[in-house]
Copies of this chain bind each other. A is one copy, B any other.
Amino acid sequence: MSPEATDEDVAHVVERVESVGGEAFVSKGVVRTIIGLVGDIESFHGLNLRTLKGVADVHRISDPYKLVSRQHHPERSTVWVGGRDGAPRVPIGPETFTFMAGPCAVETPEQTLESARMAQSAGATILRGGAYKPRTSPYAFQGLGVKGLEILADVRAATGMPVVTEIVDARDVDVVAEHADMLQVGTRNMANFGLLQAVGDAGKPVLLKRGMTATIEEWLMAAEYIAQRGNLDVVLCERGIRTFEPSTRNTLDISAVPVVQATSHLPVIVDPSHAAGRKDLIVPLSRAAIAVGADGIIVDVHPDPETALCDGPQALLGTELRELAQACRKLPALVDRVPSHERATTA
């Protein structure tokens, strides 16, 4: 309460809190009175406490999310991806390290297959590839759509790699779910609540990227939207946040990994490619991601970055991909994890 608040103001707040079934504990000081609320936070939302006379500020103490919180679910979860068309089921969780890779965009069957083979040789167990591309410019390549999904399904059959692909429109949920093993919600759609609900209903694991300016709490609330539809197979993906620093496309918030793991039971992986936007940083950032304890990474590879239709400057190949492969083999053991292929199960 503000220093000017009267006893009536305090009494009015207490009355409102009790009217919705909560308890209010009044701590009265010389200058200022503090009221501690205990009860169902949802019921407090409707009170508009900040509008009440004499109220100076309102601090929420408990977490606003429930289903994705560790509070009622202390064990960290494992999400299984795959098990179709002969592809294994691959775990993403606290005991493993899962390496996902593939081209930013699906361009042709050949480029996709070649990218998948590169990824697989480097140790990747899940194939990423975009059929629907959300692009800042309406004049940029927007993806192959259904044709791209079919290519991904063919490449899965050829390689045995389960497929994760982005969905940008709630109207496409059925067709994407039909072809892919995991649905990705991209950074620009993290707060597209209709899309979150639609993927929550689709019955497939979801890869939920952090909005490029979302707080960790907002990101977990987005996961709660999916969970609320009965789908707890959500994997979070840190991909950099927007700051004032111009030397990288975004600033990889590496601390988000242990913060999320302390707060939520959901797995969390790192996308160093989109965070940095620069090929020369992918290997060191991937090593950092493994060492900080991420449950996996997702990386862009392309057989010919110079001709890539999307994000060529960050796609790996050659020496850098070999270095990355080596890091993914050697470092997980140091944080008590095994590479995901050692725990993958045949369908």
Task: Write the residues of chain A forming the contact surface with B, with a CB cutoff of 8 angstroms.
Answer: 3, 23, 25-32, 34-39, 42, 45-46, 48, 50-52, 56-57, 59, 61-62, 64-65, 71, 134-140, 168-171, 188-189, 191-194, 212-213, 215-218, 221, 224-225, 228, 241-248, 251-259, 262, 275-276, 279-281, 284-285, 287-293, 305-309, 312-313, 315, 330-331, 334-335
Shortest A30–chain B CB gap in Å is 7
Pick the most buried of A32, A169, A262, A284: most chain B CB atoms within 10 A of its CB: A284
Smallest CB-CB A-B distances: 4 pairs: A29-B38, A213-B213, A27-B36, A25-B27
**A interface majority secondary structure:** mixed
**Inside 8 A of A284's CB, which chain B residues have their CB?**
257-258, 291-293
Given the complex of chains A and B, what is the CA–CA distance between A55 and B153 in angstroms?
Answer: 36
Question: Which listed residue (B216, B259, B306) contacts A281, Cβ 8 A?
Answer: B259
Question: Which listed residue (B135, B194, B216) contacts A193, Cβ 8 A?
Answer: B135
* Number of copies of this kind of chain in the complex: 4
**Inside 8 A of A169's CB, which chain B residues have their CB?**
170, 194
Given the complex of chains A and B, what is the CA–CA distance between A293 and B39 in angstroms?
Answer: 42
Pick the most buried of A48, A251, A280: most chain B CB atoms within 10 A of its CB: A48
Asked if B32 contacts A61 (CB within 8 A), the reply is yes
Given the complex of chains A and B, what is the CA–CA distance between A26 and B307 in angstroms?
Answer: 23
